[in-house]
Structure 1
Amino acid sequence: MLIFRWLASLLLLGSALCFVFYLGTGQARYKRWGLLVLKWTVVAALAFFAVLIFGRIV
């Protein structure tokens, strides 16, 4: 659990940094990277919670 929390926090921080770089430089690649990292963070979180719910059901 602790590892997942740290991983999710670091991924969100990385996404935020990408958006800050985008605001600072105006380069679209940072926005794409930020959205990509954010998307996979949400996917990973949904998978994690699905496993927790499945574990409770079974």
Structure 2
Amino acid sequence: MLVIRLVFMLLMVAAIACVAAYMATGQTVWRQRGLLIIKWTVLAALAGAVVLLLERLTLAL
């Protein structure tokens, strides 16, 4: 779970950096990269939620 949280936080920092680079330069490549990173961030969050759910299910059974 710690690894998933770390990946999630690093992806958030990278997405914020890409959005800041887009705002500073106006180049659309940074916006595209930021959106791609945000997509992977959402997937990492979903994976974390699944892991949490599975942990709770194993404790309940």
When normalised by structure 1's length, the TM-score is 0.83
Residue ranges of structure 1 left out of the alignment (5+ in a row): none
Flag as ranges the 4+ runs of structure 1 deviating above 3 A: none
| 1:49 maps to 2:49 | yes
Aligned-pair identity (%) = 41
Would you say how many aligned residue pairs link Structure 1 and Structure 2? 58
CA distance in 2 between counterparts of 1:18 and 1:34 reads: 5
The match for 2:36 is 36
Q: What is the CA deviation profile of residues 14-56 of structure 1, one whole-angstrom value per residue up to 9, with x for unaligned ones?
A: 0000000000110111001001101111111112211321332
The match for 1:15 is 15
Structure number with the bigger relative contact order (C-alpha 8 A, sep ≥ 6) is: 2
Greater gyration radius:
2
Deviation (angstroms), 1:3:
2.1
Amino acid at match of 1:28: T
Say whether the 8 Å CA contact 2:7–2:44 is kept in structure 1: no
Give RMSD over aligned pairs.
1.3
Residue ranges of structure 2 left out of the alignment (5+ in a row): none
